[in-house]
Amino acid sequence: DQQVKQNSPSLSVQEGRISILNCDYTNSMFDYFLWYKKYPAEGPTFLISISSIKDKNEDGRFTVFLNKSAKHLSLHIVPSQPGDSAVYFCAASPNYGGSQGNLIFGKGTKLSVKP
Amino acid sequence: GAGVSQSPSNKVTEKGKDVELRCDPISGHTALYWYRQSLGQGLEFLIYFQGNSAPDKSGLPSDRFSAERTGGSVSTLTIQRTQQEDSAVYLCASSLELRVTDTQYFGPGTRLTVL
């Protein structure tokens, strides 16, 4: 059973608009969440993270929101740029502050930003 | 500086053969992780190393899979008697320490195809 779910396999957005990528999780023990971006034929690259003690974390054009009661997080990209076109993976860990780093990933959402 | 490198980038093998995948982590990174991504799936965690030791092998899909790390650096993932369901992209990542808050840097992956 999937513990991290990204229910939208793809998303298409116009350049300059906001992109909102969603992620749901089932394990209430998860307390650290990350977003990775992946271009074709490359490994994933870290984008932004959030711990469960926060509900928002912002880094430039990227903001992650966490709703613990709903077990839901979202990544907002604004304004979206064509170079943001990639597959975005949500990941979670129950080990914030601990000593184990394995992550549980969703299946990814392919974002296409059209000029 | 150099990132995580993996070799080979592509491997085609026949069912029943053994394969060995190699990962060179970022110099100085003590933690190393193996994941795989099957078609249409998210990244599946396989195993992590802290130095040369792998305390938890429960993520390996079967006893045909093994991994080792020598000298706290290079790691090899070996799959014996390959099966068609082993076809996937195998990704290696490394981080400075074994902490979930330490960014995992991924290599480009090895695409394994079992005929």
Averaged pLDDT, A2-21 = 95
**pLDDT, tens digit, 9 for 90 and up, residues A51-74:** 999 999 999 999 999 999 999 999
Q: How far apart are CA A54 and CA A96, in angstroms?
A: 13
Q: How distant is the Cα of A73 from the closest Cα of chain B, in angstroms?
A: 17
Contact A101/B100, CB-based, under 8 Å? yes
Who has greater pLDDT, B72 or A38?
A38
Q: How distant is the Cα of B82 from the closest Cα of chain A, in angstroms?
A: 23
Alpha-helical (H) ranges within A36-95 are none
Contact B104/A107, CB-based, under 8 Å? no
Q: What percent of chain B has pLDDT over 90?
A: 77
The first and second tokens of residue A106, run together, are 């969703």
For the ranges A22-26, A91-95, B68-72, which has the lowest average pLDDT? A91-95
The verdict on A49 touching B (C-beta cutoff 8 Å) is yes
The pLDDT value given to residue A100: 65
Q: How far apart are CA B85 and CA B14, in angstroms?
A: 12
The verdict on B110 touching A (C-beta cutoff 8 Å) is no
- By CB neighbour count within 10 A (0-12 exposed, 13-18 middle, 19+ buried), where does A108 fall? buried
The verdict on A103 touching B (C-beta cutoff 8 Å) is yes
**pLDDT, tens digit, 9 for 90 and up, residues A99-112:** 566 789 999 999 99
Q: How distant is the Cα of A59 from the closest Cα of chain B, in angstroms?
A: 15
Please state, rounded to an integer, the average pLDDT across all residues of chain A: 92
Who has greater pLDDT, A56 or A94?
A56
Beta bridge partners of B34: B47, B92
Amino acid letter, A98: G
Residues 26 through 45 of chain A touching chain B, CB cutoff 8 Å: 32, 36, 41-45
Who has greater pLDDT, B16 or B2?
B16
Is the pLDDT score of A98 beyond 80? no
Contact A49/B101, CB-based, under 8 Å? yes
The pLDDT value given to residue B78: 97
Contact A98/B40, CB-based, under 8 Å? no
Which 3 state secondary structure label does DSSP give A82? helix
The verdict on A107 touching B (C-beta cutoff 8 Å) is yes
Who has greater pLDDT, A23 or A40?
A23
Beta bridge partners of A51: A32
Contacts of B58 (CB under 8 A, 6+ apart): none
Structural contact between residues A5 and A105, judged by C-beta atoms closer than 8 angstroms: no
Averaged pLDDT, B59-81 = 94
Averaged pLDDT, B63-82 = 94
